[in-house]
Structure 1
Amino acid sequence: MQLLSQSLGSLATQLPGATRVFHQFKLDFCCGGQHTLAEALKKKGLEPGPILAELNRLAEQPQLGKNWQEAGTQELISHILARFHDKHRIQLPELIRLARRVEHVHGDLPDCPTGLADHLEAMQMELESHMQKEEQILFPMLAQGMFPTGPVSVMQEEHLDHGEALERMLALAHDLELPPGACNTWTALYLGLRELKEDLMEHIHLENNILFVDRASGEGSCCGSCH
């Protein structure tokens, strides 16, 4: 497999464990999944050697876990609902509570993630609206074998907004770098933010690169504006 010429989205769907490596090297495989590995590394200014070594090691291992490309539409939808929609609804309220506490207690420190709680509340509102539209409109249509390009494009455009919101979240949280002597609440907050980031990227990846593919035509739904 010519890894450098493969798109991030393709590698993420075909090579189990690749998403973990992409997180490690901070490569966007969800909204930026159409870019090749070579393009993504060049954009980040990264040498290909270390990541190629990791990916080649994965390619040599026996495949474990579920291959969602082989799953039926309803099975994939059920997985997304249980693994991501339900989880996001649990994650965000607690992260907002932790962020408010950190800002209240440590607001005078330069490393305090000031404004993070408000941003997380905005993320929660946008994500809840997005998930409801999927649950009430798009997912039932896909489960019935329909492929409504309009609703799919709208959801993918909103995925871009979610990606930008994640970038803003990381900026407010100083790229999740804890200051020396950070309290347990601050530590728990940043651990939770890291989990949210990884979960939301995986969520978007499964939808953009697998679910939002017209299985009748074999064409993906990417609108070409991902970055």
Structure 2
Amino acid sequence: MSTPASTLDQSLGSLARSIPGATALFDASGLDFCCAGNKTLRKAAAENGLDAEALAARLDAMRGGPAEGRDWRAAPAAELIDHIVERYHARHREQLPELIRLARRVEQVHGERPDCPAGLADHLEAMRQELESHMMKEEQILFPMLARGMRPQAAGPISVMRFEHEQHGDALEGLSALTNGIVTPSGACNTWRALYLGLATLRDDLVNHIHLENNILFDESAAAEVSHA
């Protein structure tokens, strides 16, 4: 039995926001459903050397399964915005200062080791500054516009935020390169282990944060999918 073409030819973003568990499958497969969420499953799988038919079959099996959290497509924009600010913006502001502190400690104490993530603290500091600027623009300019239903006027700011999301994706790639995929090396001390655990959480939070904005809040088709379901 062949896999329905509709699944293969839907975008990663659409699949991620409509099938519970899809985001975990994409993450495990190395498929970027946030910054590259406009690519079809067929194209993304081909570019990454993955079996698109097998992935589509697993996604089809997930359809109709138990929901993992709330379906934010059906929420009013203002409610989703509140969730993003409280769950992700506030969290990033807590995470990064501590991660920077831990990274500087690891670099100072273990700088002689070849697997020490040299330059990680500076990279995280740059991420912190970029994220803070980005989040402030959303909170002060874009989010109030969307909450008031001013979507046509928000087209320009949305475009800017999408571009900056791509930059955040590049920063995550740099983070992965500095830390060997955020894999804790053998013999790492407790501080090093805590650092990498925090980095993995930051990565997952930022990916899901961008997904909610790019594929639901900024995407008018998300609401249409719900209304026509």
TM-score, structure 2 normalization: 0.89
1:151 counterpart (138, 153, 157): 157
- In the alignment, structure 1 residue 174 sits paired with structure 2 residue 180: yes
Deviation at 1:120?
0.2
Deviation at 1:24?
1.0
1:69 counterpart (67, 73, 76): 73
Deviation at 1:53?
5.1
Q: Which residue of 2 aligns with 1:114?
A: 118
The number of aligned residues is 218
Deviation at 1:204?
0.8
Q: Which residue of 1 aligns with 2:42?
A: 38
Q: Which residue of 2 aligns with 1:211?
A: 217
Q: Which residue of 2 aligns with 1:202?
A: 208
Alignment partner of 2:34: what SS?
Answer: coil
Q: Where do 1:130-145 residues align within 5 Å?
A: 130-145=134-149
**Long gaps (5+) in structure 2:** 225-229
Q: Which residue of 2 aligns with 1:192?
A: 198
Q: 1:25 to 1:145 in 2, by over 3 A?
A: same
What percentage of aligned pairs have identical amino acids?
Answer: 59
RMSD of aligned residue pairs (Cα, Å)? 1.9
TM-score, structure 1 normalization: 0.90
1:80 counterpart (63, 81, 84): 84
Deviation at 1:174?
1.2
Q: 1:95 to 1:40 in 2, by over 3 A?
A: same
Alignment partner of 1:178: what SS?
Answer: coil
Deviations 1:161-181 (A, max 9, x none): 111111111111111122112
Distance 2:63 2:113 in 1: 45
Deviation at 1:56?
3.5
Distance 1:50 1:114 in 2: 39
- 2:188 alignment partner AA: A
Distance 1:46 1:186 in 2: 33
Alignment partner of 1:175: what SS?
Answer: coil
Deviation at 1:64?
4.2
Contact 2:102 2:192 in 1 (8 A): yes
Distance 1:128 1:64 in 2: 29
- 2:74 alignment partner AA: E
Alignment partner of 1:176: what SS?
Answer: coil
**Long gaps (5+) in structure 1:** 219-227
- 1:58 alignment partner AA: M
Name which of structure 1's ranges 178-187 and 107-116 shifts more when overlaid on structure 2: 178-187
Q: Which residue of 2 aligns with 1:126?
A: 130
- 1:109 alignment partner AA: R
Distance 2:30 2:109 in 1: 31
- 2:62 alignment partner AA: L
